[in-house]
Amino acid sequence: MPFTANRTFKSDPLMISGARGNHYILADGREVLDVSAGLWCVNAGHGRREITDAIRSQAETLDFVANFSHGAAPAFELANRLALLAPGDLNHVFFTNSGSEAVDTALKIALACHAARGEGQRQRFVGRQMAYHGVGFGGLSVAGLGGNRKAFGPLLPGVSHLPHTLDHARNACSKGQPEHGIEMADALEAIVAMNDASTIAAVIVEPVAGAGGVLPPPQGYLERLREICDRHGLLLIFDEVITGFGRLGTTFASEYFGVQPDMITCAKGLTNAAVPMGAVIVSDAVHDTILNAATGPGPELAHGYTYSGHPLAAAAGLATLDIHRDDDLNGKARALAPLLEAGVHALADHPVVKDVRNLGVLAAVQMHPREGAPGARSTELRHHCLAEGALIRAGADTVLISPPLTFGADEVTQVIEAMKKGLDRL
C-alpha cells in the first residue's frame, strides 16, 4: 500500500466500504467524518450524483480515445474552462493522470521552453525543503522531504533547495500567513549567485506547503520569489495540486496571493477525485515559445500519457467545475475558513501542542514529540479521533486537516471536540 506501514495495517486493517457527503462508512458500518477530503481532493464531498452521471453518460458515448494525433471534445472543453478560471494569461492546458505526472510534465515543459528560446543550457531546478511534489523522479528531486528520498539514489542532478519556511521561534501558532520570514525568499538570490541565472530553468513551490505539514508562506514571500524569478528569467511553477479548486476560497492560490506563476500544476480537486486526473496550465508565453520554435511536421512536445485527457476524467472534471460554480465552493471555503481557524487555535494552549498552522480550509496541529518515539503521537491521536467519529490524517508528529469544502459548522465542532479529547488522552 502507498505510504503505509504495511505490517501495522495488516495487523489492524481499517477498511472503508462507502462514502456520502462529508462521511466515510467503515466496513463495520460506522459513519465517520472524512477530515481529509479523501487526500485533500474530495472538495465537493463524496458521492456527487452530477459527477457519477457525467462519467456514466460519457462511458456510454465514448469510453476512450488516446489524444495522440486525434482528439475528443470533453478534454478540449475542460481545457477551455480551466483557461477561463486560471489567472492572467495561463491559457493552455496539458492533461496528465496525477499530480506527480503534472509536476514532471511541468519540469519538462520548462526545459523545452528554454531550449526553444535558444537557452537550452538552463537545466537546473530550484525546489524547497519540506516540499511534496509527488513521487516521479522529477518531482521527488525538487521535493524536500528527506524520508521520501533516501532510498532512491541521487535523483536529478542540478537541483537546489530553498530553505523551508517553518520558524517556530518567531511564528509559532500564527493565524494565517506568518508575519516573519519574507527574507527566506532571498535564498533564491544566493542560489542564483552560486550557479548563475543562465543555468537555471525554473523554481517550483507549493504556494502553501501541504504534505510537509501545512506551511503557509510568510507575508510577502511569494511576491518576492516572483520578483527574483523575473529579474533572472526563471520560470515560476506553483504546484497547486492541493491548493487548486477552492481550498483557500479562490479557484487557485495564485489568485489568493495575487502572484502569477508561469505554470500551475493541479490534480485532486479537478475531478473531485472521482476519476484520476492532473493538469499543467501554462502561460501564453510558454506555450507560444514552444509551438513557434518548432520546425517540421513532428510533435512540438515529445511527451504525453496514453490516458492524457481521458474522456471519463474530462467528463468528471467538467461536472466538478459545474458544482464549483453552482454551489459556490469558493464562497463555502471562505465561510468555513474562520471556523476552522478558531477551532484549531483553541487547541494551541494544550500542553501536548507545539504549533498550530492554518490558511483557508487547511490546518495542521503539530505536537511535541514523545521522547524516544518521534511520530507516535499523531498516530495515537488519529486512533483516538477515529473512536470519536473523525478520520484524521497523521504525519510525523502533526495531524493534517483538510475537510471537504462542504463541511458545516457542527462538523468542525465535532472534529475539534474529538481532537481535544484525543489530546487530553495523550
Determine phi and psi for 167, rounding to 5 degrees: -135, 85
Please state, in angstroms and rounded to a whole number, the distance separating the CA atoms of residues 72 and 53.
19
Q: 210 or 216: whose CB is closer to ligand PMP? A: 210
Contact between 206 and ligand PMP by CB under 6 A: the answer reads yes
**Cβ–Cβ contacts within 10 Å for residue 241, how many?**
30
Quote the DSSP letter at residue 176: S
Please state, in angstroms and rounded to a whole number, the distance separating the CA atoms of residues 12 and 63.
38
Q: Stretches 15-23, 60-68, 70-78, 205-213: which one binds ligand PMP (CB under 6 A)?
A: 205-213
Of the candidates 245, 242, 266, 403, the residue with the CA atom closest to the CA atom of residue 319? 245
The CB-of-265 to ligand PMP minimum distance in angstroms stands at: 7
Show contacts with ligand PMP in window 336-355 (CB under 6 A).
none
Quote the DSSP letter at residue 215: B
**Cβ–Cβ contacts within 10 Å for residue 351, how many?**
10
The one among 78, 267, 319, 396 contacting ligand PMP by CB under 6 A:
267
365 three-class SS? strand
The CB-of-160 to ligand PMP minimum distance in angstroms stands at: 19
The one among 33, 72, 86, 103 contacting ligand PMP by CB under 6 A:
103
* Positive/negative CA dihedral, 167, 171, 173, 174: negative
Contact between 100 and ligand PMP by CB under 6 A: the answer reads yes
Q: 144 or 343: whose CB is closer to ligand PMP? A: 144
Q: Stretches 9-17, 95-103, 107-115, 170-178: which one binds ligand PMP (CB under 6 A)?
A: 95-103
The CB-of-103 to ligand PMP minimum distance in angstroms stands at: 5
H or E segment to which residue 359 belongs = strand 353-359
DSSP bridge pairs for 370: 373
The CB-of-28 to ligand PMP minimum distance in angstroms stands at: 28
Determine phi and psi for 156, rounding to 5 degrees: -65, 140
The one among 38, 210, 403, 404 contacting ligand PMP by CB under 6 A:
210
Of the candidates 178, 117, 110, 173, the residue with the CA atom closest to the CA atom of residue 138? 110
Q: How far is CA 54 from CA 60, 353, 374, in A?
A: 10, 44, 45
Q: 253 or 416: whose CB is closer to ligand PMP? A: 253
The one among 187, 188, 242, 386 contacting ligand PMP by CB under 6 A:
242
The one among 211, 236, 259, 314 contacting ligand PMP by CB under 6 A:
211
The residue with cell 459556490 is 328
> Could you tell me the three cell numbers for 205?
513551490
Instruction: Give the x-and-dash track for 110-139 against ligand PMP (CB under 6 A).
Output: ----------------------xxx-----
The CB-of-11 to ligand PMP minimum distance in angstroms stands at: 26
The CB-of-293 to ligand PMP minimum distance in angstroms stands at: 29
The residue with cell 506551511 is 215
The maximal CA–CA distance of the chain, rounded, in angstroms, is 68
Show contacts with ligand PMP in window 297-336 (CB under 6 A).
none
Please state, in angstroms and rounded to a whole number, the distance separating the CA atoms of residues 34 and 22.
6
- Size of residue set near ligand PMP by CB under 6 A: 14
What's the distance, CA 29 to chain centroid? 31
Contact between 253 and ligand PMP by CB under 6 A: the answer reads no
Contact between 104 and ligand PMP by CB under 6 A: the answer reads no
DSSP bridge pairs for 204: 237
Minimal CB distance residue for ligand PMP:
99
Instruction: Give the x-and-dash track for 133-172 against ligand PMP (CB under 6 A).
Output: xx--------------------------------------
Q: 140 or 416: whose CB is closer to ligand PMP? A: 140
Parallel, antiparallel, or unpaired: how do β-strands 398-401 and 362-367 relate?
antiparallel
Contact between 78 and ligand PMP by CB under 6 A: the answer reads no
Q: 102 or 426: whose CB is closer to ligand PMP? A: 102
The one among 58, 98, 378, 398 contacting ligand PMP by CB under 6 A:
98
What's the distance, CA 324 to chain centroid? 17
The one among 38, 87, 99, 422 contacting ligand PMP by CB under 6 A:
99
Contact positions vs ligand PMP (CB under 6 A): 98-100, 103, 132-134, 206, 210-211, 239, 241-242, 267
